[in-house]
Structure 1
Amino acid sequence: MSIVLTLDLHASRIARVNPVAKLAAALVISLTLVLTIDWVSAGVALVLEAMLLPFAGVGARQFWMRTAPVWIASIAAAVATALYGADSGAVLWGLGPITVTEGSLFLAGAIALRVLAIGIPGVILFATSDPTELADGLAQLVHLPARFVLGALAALRLVGLFIDDWRALARARRARGIGDGGGPVGGMRRLGSQSFALLVLSLRRGSKLATAMEAKGFGGDRPRTWARASHFGRAEVAMVAIGVVIAVIAAVAAVGTGSWHFVVS
């Protein structure tokens, strides 16, 4: 019971960390792993990240649902690299111009691990972040232009509304008798027409939102005030330090084993 309470306490603390610190930690790890293509650095980073997952405050079901695109992307990248990557070593399988060699298979594994090591921490960290808090931090701490930050925040807030619009359009079309049947060709036609309808609806809503924001003074040139102050304290420094430690350990392990392969060399 004490272990569960301890994990919940740590999870709540991580959830309260400023999203800017989470973004900085994820960027440090990502930039380090982008510099090399090898198994060791990505594998070490992935293991260290996995050790921190119990403290992220994300349940198992939520973890798999949110990271599913990352796993799919890693598998797709590995398959594409294995089939079309640079050939080296013995040929393991071939079909015409498509061959799988020891070198391409090794490279495919490294690419898959890199995608997981870069994508999973970003998804998990932002799963516990509030978009408004992130916007406040980017404007107040990073000093990004307020118009850009607020515009991006408004667009992000509309994603859920667009999903509801898509479902409403599908129900309306089905009620008119044009939402079913036709086979795969009909399905592609419905997808295209419904996407166009959503695009038109989004443009109309976007223009109205832009007018409303301009009328409320969001587009002014004067320095604006903020309803919530964004702070960068010890917890944020610790979060960034964790990202730096993971990146350093991964890089040192790769260099020490001789597997570091600088991508621009």
Structure 2
Amino acid sequence: MNLAARNPAAKLAAAAVLTFALVVSLDPVAPAVALAAELAVVPLFGIRYGALARRAWPLAVSVLGAVLTLFLFAQDREHIAMSALALALRLFAVALPGIIAFATTDPTDLADALIQNARLPARFAIGTLAAWRLVPLLGEEWRLITLARRARGVDPGRNPVARLRLFASAAFTLLVGAIRRGTRLAAAMDARGFDSGAVRTSARRQYFRRADAALVAGAALVAAVALAASVASGAFHPLFA
């Protein structure tokens, strides 16, 4: 079974189903069950756990920062541990399906599926494709910024404050460059008629088959089991209670 070959729209729909189920409760049981199921099916998408870890390290850093923030600003740190655990598990369980979906999806296939299967406007789908194509350039531009500063002798040494200040400066430079590139790309796409409103055709058909529907149904089943386990354990804590 190769889940990586499933329709991109089905992958996104499955991720959305899990996300919706995991945000309705604040307990750690539901995301723990969902996360265990997500990790179990990773090999079915043709992804090695090591490769997944390399893709998910920014998420791990973000989760660590969120948990540390909870502990730093909590009045009662003993009782905040459960909330921090629930938050960490939920962030991982919500983000992991998206990471898997985008890691196993061709950008052009995604744009075609959004237009043909999800019935989204072509402007939005093609804009998504263009943005995705630009993501690898950010890593290359970050490397060039780092090398250029090193060539000019800009080195923070072992000073953590200077290192943080240099990182913030480089990040701002990267952001400005990304905005400028996005603006030029948007103008170029409009000049080529991408916003003309004309009916567009697709060169490659994206079919939504029974196996794709089964993927979405499987995600719904995992979500139901996770919520049922939460309720059965007595840990269920509705978001809007």
Q: State the TM-score, normalized to the length of structure 2.
A: 0.87
Deviation string 1:40-87 (CA, Å, 9 cap, x unpaired) is: 2122212222221221211132011112233333333334334545xx
Rate the CA distance shift 1:261–1:138 in 2: closer, same or farther, 3 A.
same
Partner AA of 1:217 in structure 2: G
1-side partners of 2:144 and 2:128: how far apart? 25
Q: Please, which of 29, 51, 54 is the counterpart of residue 62 of structure 1?
A: 51
Q: Which has the larger radius of gyration?
A: 1
C-alpha RMSD of matched pairs (Å): 2.4
Q: 2:19 is paired with a residue of what secondary structure?
A: helix
Judged with a 3 Å threshold, the aligned counterparts in structure 2 of structure 1 residues 200 and 99 are, in CA distance, closer, same or farther, namely closer
Write out aligned runs for 1:13-92 (5 A).
Answer: 13-85=2-74
Superposed displacement of residue 207, structure 1? 3.7
Measure, in 1, the Cα distance between the counterparts of 2:67 and 2:139: 31
Q: How does 1:104-183 map to 2 (within 5 A)?
A: 104-175=80-151, 177-180=152-155
Report the 3-state secondary structure (helix = DSSP H, G, I; strand = E; otherwise coil) of the residue aligned with 1:144: coil
Shift of 1:117: 1.6
1:216 is matched with 192
Deviation (angstroms), 1:244: 0.4
Quote the residue 1:206 is aligned against. 182
- Answer whether contact 1:83 1:104 (CA < 8 A) is retained: no
Shifted more, 45-54 versus 180-189: the winner is 180-189
Answer whether contact 1:36 1:260 (CA < 8 A) is retained.
yes
Q: 1:100 aligns with which of 72, 77, 87?
A: 77
Quick check: 1:78–1:111 contact (8 Å CA) kept in 2? yes
1:241 aligns with 2:217: yes
Q: Does residue 252 of the first structure (1) align with residue 241 of the second (2)?
A: no
Deviation at 1:152? Answer: 2.3
Q: Which runs of 5+ in 1 are unaligned?
A: 1-9, 86-97
Flag the 1:209–1:108 CA change in 2: closer, same or farther, 3 A: closer
Q: Please, which runs of 5 or more residues in structure 2 have no aligned partner?
A: none
Shift of 1:163: 2.2
- Relative to structure 1, the CA distance from residue 198 to residue 259 in structure 2 (aligned partners, 3 Å threshold; closer, same or farther) is closer
C-alpha distance after superposition, 1:170-193 (max 9, x if no partner): 333433x24335755655565455
Query: Once the two structures are aligned, what percentage of the paired residues are identical?
Result: 41
Alpha-carbon distance, 1:255 to partner: 1.6
Write the distance in 1 (CA, Å) between the matches of 2:104 and 2:218: 17
Q: SS where residue 100 of structure 1 aligns?
A: coil
Question: Quick check: 27-36 or 123-132, which moved more?
Answer: 123-132
8 Å Cα contact 1:29-1:118 kept in structure 2? yes
